[in-house]
């Protein structure tokens, strides 16, 4: 069988779009047609199928959970880097500093708690940056019950993220001070130091699930450049749902080209793509 790209008819493209929307909430525009062909052709070939119609039939009638996951993995785009959108991390450092001044010691071990969620973490640069910048700015966090949840729908990028190993070229845009934090390993690679890696739990998650397998609350949520793949109603539903996962007065950080839209009733804009929830403890407990 020839190994080139497979032709995609209008009807087949419509079926692909409908399936990825139903499965992951991703809204593919007509401009993504070339991406669909290039990303999915090799998957169709590997399954020894001869058309996209046959591929969608296979997924609908007998494909495994892995096949469905491979379909979504192939259509997600994972562009990220360390310290992307600097102002978010500057704000987070200031916010956590204020929390540390006023948050009481809680729990049987006497440790105050800090919880942050990176929703759509891709290959891990975002949650690792959260951990690195906060430990650098606030060394006392090592004595806190501090955890970062990092989730993504794409299981391939999660596996990469969990290694904590990246090419040294990732340091190209970083200041010498930031670059010094990374460990150098063999083969021109760098590694996230263990104190940071130990903070983070990487978990697969489809944000379109009706319920999520955790309740929070989180002090801050990063959901950046995720909603751009959803239509407006889906974006509004997602941001509204994220707001209910935050502590009262907690913060949501979103991408530079995003806004909370119809999901913004529970937020106030406090900075460039930085939103603070209006949720009170009473309304959160009732949510």
280 is written with which tokens? Answer: 């009170």
Active site residues: 39, 152
**Distance (Å, whole) CA 173 – CA 144:** 31
Q: Which residues pair with 267 in a beta bridge?
A: 277
Query: Which of 143, 145, 134, 136 has its CA nearest to residue 92?
Result: 134
Read out DSSP for 32-68? GHHHHHHHHHHHHHHTT-SSHHHHHHHHHHT--HHHH
Query: Which of 30, 48, 51, 42 has its CA nearest to residue 71?
Result: 42
Secondary structure class of 185 (helix, strand, coil): strand
**Distance (Å, whole) CA 186 – CA 190:** 8
**Distance (Å, whole) CA 81 – CA 16:** 29
Q: Which residues pair with 115 in a beta bridge?
A: 147
Q: Give the pairing type, strands 145-152 and 200-204.
A: parallel
**Distance (Å, whole) CA 195 – CA 188:** 22
């Amino acid at each position: 069988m020839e190994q080139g790209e497979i032709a995609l008819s209008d009807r087949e493209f419509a079926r692909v779009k409908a399936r990825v929307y139903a499965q992951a909430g991703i809204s593919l525009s007509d401009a993504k047609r070339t991406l669909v062909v290039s990303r999915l052709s090799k998957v169709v070939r590997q399954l020894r199928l001869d058309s996209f119609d046959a591929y969608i039939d296979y997924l609908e009638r007998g494909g495994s959970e892995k096949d469905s996951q491979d379909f979504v993995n192939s259509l997600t785009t994972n562009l990220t880097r360390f310290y992307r959108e600097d102002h978010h991390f500057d704000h987070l450092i200031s916010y956590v500093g204020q929390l540390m001044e006023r948050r009481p010691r809680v729990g049987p071990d006497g440790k105050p708690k800090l919880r942050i969620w990176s929703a759509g973490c891709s290959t891990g640069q975002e949650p690792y940056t959260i951990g690195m910048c906060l430990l650098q700015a606030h060394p006392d966090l090592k004595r806190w019950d501090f955890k970062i949840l990092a989730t993504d729908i794409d299981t391939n990028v999660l596996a990469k993220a969990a290694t904590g190993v990246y090419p040294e070229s990732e340091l190209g845009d970083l200041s010498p001070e930031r670059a010094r934090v990374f460990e150098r390993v063999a083969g021109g690679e760098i590694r996230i130091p263990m104190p940071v890696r130990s903070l983070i739990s990487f978990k697969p998650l489809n944000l379109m699930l009706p319920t999520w397998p955790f309740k929070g609350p989180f002090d801050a949520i990063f959901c950046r450049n995720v909603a751009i793949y959803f239509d407006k109603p889906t974006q509004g539903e997602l941001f509204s749902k994220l707001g209910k996962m935050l502590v009262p007065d907690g913060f949501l950080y979103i991408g530079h080209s995003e806004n909370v839209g119809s999901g913004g009733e529970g937020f106030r804009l406090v900075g460039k793509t930085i939103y603070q929830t209006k949720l009170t403890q009473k309304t959160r407990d009732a949510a």
